[in-house]
């Protein structure tokens, strides 16, 4: 079963110019990046999206970020956009970030991390860690509380969020209060039933995943590293509480749910939800009403982190 919006979205993808789809003959990366931003801006302006009290552009140690925040001091969640490590931008996840900030009362910071293939692994990874360090050093002047931020992201952004949480644990660095992984890519070399079941016609084709993986991690030997494939980490104990959201008709569904299961087995509190009738890109609120439910769920969890209640 597919939601009508999902069917319509997939029908639209069938008409997409091959030049805009990674892995297809004639793919034009520069054009795909331009078109992605323009299409999202057009959709965002076609319907009203609430704006938090503060919306600003920041230079976080040389990395451009978009900040969406309420008035007064607020906790921070870093939102890492998807796009196969090669596409996407803070502008394209802005509708999600605006809604999340308004509904949760948290500040949302979306960094413009460097993209592959020009900047392969570990460039994006290092950029996000750099933003976190900068944020912790500038939280007072920004009227933010970044002592224990949350990590969130979709698809490739969720991959980065999970990997950064792992490395912070391994280095004994300050922890994060939450990792919210939406339709995550957590195993770049695994073989999962959902990848076969939804290989064609569901918006994330094998050639696209293969191109994106090769662009981000050009050396195959690196693809099993935990910083690239978090599901392959020897241990996932001691990680922050997690929210894992998967889509029923998504090639990445099974690896996301496998990661949630490993976290739970290791004793990490996990909320894992499979969104029925949804496809991989349902996290876009300019196209899918189901994204609103997802944002409500994440906002509720963030509010619980802010106000854990009586012991």
Q: Which residue has the tokens 């004639």?
A: 26
Q: How far apart, in whole angstroms, are the C-alpha atoms of residue 121 and residue 114? A: 10
pLDDT for 91:
94
Give the residue-averaged pLDDT of 14-18: 90
Per the CB < 8 A criterion, the answer to whether 279 and 308 are in contact is: no
pLDDT for 311:
39
Per the CB < 8 A criterion, the answer to whether 73 and 145 are in contact is: yes
Active-site residue (options: 250, 254, 275, 284): 250
Q: 208: which residues sit within 8 A by CB, 6+ positions away?
A: 21, 22, 23, 24, 84
Q: How far apart, in whole angstroms, are the C-alpha atoms of residue 153 and residue 156? A: 8
Give the residue-averaged pLDDT of 59-69: 97
Which residues on neighbouring strands pair with residue 154, listed in sequence order? 182
Q: Give the model confidence (pLDDT) of 197-234 as tens digits.
A: 999 999 999 999 999 999 999 999 999 999 999 999 99
Active-site residue (options: 89, 101, 104, 155): 155
Q: Give the model confidence (pLDDT) of 220-277 as tens digits.
A: 999 999 999 999 999 999 999 999 999 999 999 999 999 999 999 999 999 999 999 9
Instruction: Write the burial class of residue 117 (CB in 10 Å: 0-12 exposed, 13-18 middle, 19+ buried).
Output: middle
Active-site residue (options: 81, 104, 280, 284): 280
- SS3 state at 173: coil
Query: Residue 301 pLDDT > 80, yes or no?
Result: yes
pLDDT for 309:
47
- In angstroms, the Cα distances linking 133 to 113, 115, 147, 173 are 14, 20, 10, 11
What the chain holds in terms of domains, given with CATH numbers, is 4-306 (3.40.50.1820)
Q: Clarify whether 212 is annotated catalytic.
A: no
Q: Clarify whether 46 is annotated catalytic.
A: no
Phi, psi of 57 (to 5 degrees): -105, 135
Q: What is the Cβ-side half-sphere exposure of residue 207, based on CA atoms within 13 angstroms?
A: 11
Query: Residue 152 pLDDT > 50, yes or no?
Result: yes
Per the CB < 8 A criterion, the answer to whether 71 and 50 are in contact is: no
Q: Give the model confidence (pLDDT) of 82-110 as tens digits.
A: 999 999 999 999 999 999 999 999 999 99
Distance in angstroms between the alpha carbons of the first and the last residue of the chain:
42
Query: Residue 41 pLDDT > 90, yes or no?
Result: no
User: How do beta strands 242-249 and 54-60 pair?
Assistant: unpaired
Q: Clarify whether 235 is annotated catalytic.
A: no
pTM of the predicted structure, to 2 decimals: 0.96
User: What is the average pLDDT value for the chain, to the nearest integer?
Assistant: 95
pLDDT for 307:
61
Phi, psi of 242 (to 5 degrees): -130, 150
Q: Give the model confidence (pLDDT) of 165-204 as tens digits.
A: 999 999 999 889 999 999 999 999 999 999 999 999 999 9
Confidence tier at 310 by pLDDT (50, 70, 90): very low
Per the CB < 8 A criterion, the answer to whether 168 and 142 are in contact is: no
């Amino acid at each position: 079963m597919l939601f009508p919006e999902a069917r319509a979205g997939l029908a639209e993808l069938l008409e997409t110019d091959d030049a805009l789809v990674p892995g297809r003959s004639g793919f034009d990366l520069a054009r795909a990046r331009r078109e992605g931003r323009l299409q999202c801006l057009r959709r965002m302006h076609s319907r009203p999206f609430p704006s938090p009290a503060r919306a600003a552009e920041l230079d976080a140690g040389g990395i451009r970020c978009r900040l969406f925040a309420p008035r007064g001091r607020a906790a921070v969640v870093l939102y890492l956009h998807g796009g196969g490590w090669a596409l996407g931008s803070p502008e394209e996840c802005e509708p999600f970030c605006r809604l999340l900030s308004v509904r949760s009362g948290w500040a949302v910071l979306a960094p413009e991390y460097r993209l592959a293939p020009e900047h392969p692994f570990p460039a994006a990874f290092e950029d996000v860690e750099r933003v976190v360090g900068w944020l912790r050093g500038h939280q007072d002047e920004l009227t933010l509380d970044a002592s224990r931020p949350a990590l969130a992201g979709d698809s490739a952004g969720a991959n980065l969020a999970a990997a950064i949480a792992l490395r912070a644990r391994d280095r004994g660095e300050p922890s994060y209060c939450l990792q919210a992984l939406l339709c995550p890519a957590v195993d770049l070399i695994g073989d999962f039933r959902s990848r076969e079941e939804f290989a064609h016609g569901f918006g994330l084709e094998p050639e696209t995943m293969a191109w994106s993986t090769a662009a981000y991690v050009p050396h195959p030997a690196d693809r099993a590293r935990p910083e690239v494939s978090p599901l392959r980490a020897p241990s996932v104990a001691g990680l922050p509480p997690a929210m894992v959201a998967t889509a029923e008709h998504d090639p990445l569904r099974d690896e996301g749910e496998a990661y949630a299961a490993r976290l739970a087995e290791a004793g990490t509190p996990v909320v894992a939800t499979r969104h029925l009738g949804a496809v991989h890109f349902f996290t876009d609120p300019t196209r899918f009403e189901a994204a609103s439910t997802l944002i409500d769920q994440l906002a509720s969890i963030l509010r619980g982190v802010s106000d854990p209640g009586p012991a």
